[in-house]
Amino acid sequence: METVSWLIRNGSDRERMLDMDRRLQPVRLRTFAVLALALLASGPWVGWWTIGPLLVAAAVFRVADSQIEGTARPELWMFAAWAVAEIIIAVSLALTGTSAVLMLAMLAIPIVTLSARFSSRGILVGVALALGLMIAVAFGTNAHAVAQNPPVLIAPLAVVISVAMLSVALMRSDVEHRSKAVIDQLTGLLNRSALEARAHELEQQSTISGEPIALIVADLDNFKGVNDAHGHASGDAVLKDVAYLVRKRLRAFDLAYRLGGDELLILVPGAELEVAVAVGESLQEAISAETLGGGVQVTMSCGVSASRRDEIFDFDAVFRSADSALYEAKRCGGNRVRSDAPPAMVV
């Protein structure tokens, strides 16, 4: 079932967040390297120990990254890692003593990534945390300097707020344009372009993790009859309701795509065939139990296939198997789930 939290609004937000985090990971490593070089260069004046907290922050992100794929609310791990990193930077600055006020702007660096991942509430909480840490470090290490020359604190505070405002504006523009490219405008599900990118990523990940990856191909039974009998407007309303029900039934890290017309595809990472079949049955039962589109009753058939554990995921091969299983479900009358398991295991 789709889960939300105060950091995201829906499953689409979570997928965007996960996608952006995958893109940020290599950049984050390079950023840590730049900060490490800066601290090493400053070692003769502020002490070599300052590299220690940076390594702790890197370790925190490493732990958070390892928890992201398998948890229902990965955004909580991400925000916790972000907050810990910001606190560690603040503590490092405080331990440098009176020179900390000169380096307060470093707390603005993590602010850039907030808008790339979280909702407005997450951004506000993150900015508030950064501002609070700045004020605490400034007055805790050199209150006299702040009192004598307030701009030493006002300037970095303004930098944090300005960076947050600019990054939010830029990210919203980017999200709008990217959404048009990868989101199906009718259903809100991901489209074929998004599927191609994700399938390639899963193929690469499977070479390392060895985890199975399952695939469900779903198709509404006699959807043409719905359009003929009720009109295309009702057909569109049915597709929207189907997409909503599918999103509700999926786990946080399962992804649903609209291939075209009434055909959907669901990726189920880390699932053995039996687990994916259970997911398919849950979707099929949910659709048949509801009256959709303002009064239309429809059913759905599903074909399921999965890669084996410790083998490289081949999207094309698994898709062909799932598509064949869907054909078999249709041939047997529809409103059922079939897998590519041997006959004795077929459900």
Separation CA 87–CA 147 (nearest Å): 24
* Rounded CA separation 216/249 (Å): 13
Rounded mean pLDDT, 148-161: 95
Contact 35, 271 (CB under 8 A): no
CA distance 328 to 34: 56
Share of the chain above pLDDT 90, in %: 50
Q: What residues contact residue 315 under an 8 Å CB cut-off, 6+ apart?
A: 199, 200, 202, 203, 215
- Relative to beta strand 263-269, strand 213-220 is antiparallel
Domain boundaries, the chain: 11-182, 192-345
Higher pLDDT, 194 or 242: 242
Q: Is a pLDDT exceeding 50 seen at residue 344?
A: no
Q: What is the pLDDT of residues 13-41, one digit of tens each?
A: 777 777 778 778 888 889 888 888 887 88
Give the whole-angstrom CA distance, residue 199 versus residue 201. 5
Task: Record the tokens describing residue 15, joined without a space.
Answer: 């997928």
3-state secondary structure of 243: helix
Give the SS3 label for residue 304: strand
**Residue-averaged pLDDT of the chain:** 87
- The secondary structure of residue 271, as a DSSP letter, is -
What's the pTM?
0.58
DSSP character string of 89-111: HHHHHHHTGGGGGGGGGGGGTTH
Lowest mean pLDDT among 16-25, 133-142, 313-322: 16-25
Which residues have a Cβ under 8 Å from the Cβ of 278 and sit 6 or more positions away? none
| CATH class for the domain made up of 192-345 | alpha beta
192-209 helix and 151-182 helix, angle to the nearest 10 degrees: 110
pLDDT tens-digit series, residues 174-211: 766 666 678 888 998 999 988 988 898 889 888 888 89
What pLDDT, in 10s, does the model give residues 261-306? Answer: 999 999 999 999 999 999 999 999 999 999 998 789 999 999 999 9
Greater confidence (237 vs 179) lies with 237
Instruction: Report which DSSP code applies to 5.
Output: B
Q: What is d(CA 252, CA 1) in angstroms, rounded to the nearest whole number?
A: 8
Label residue 347 by pLDDT band (50, 70, 90). very low
- Among 286, 289, 277, smallest CA distance to 326 is for 277
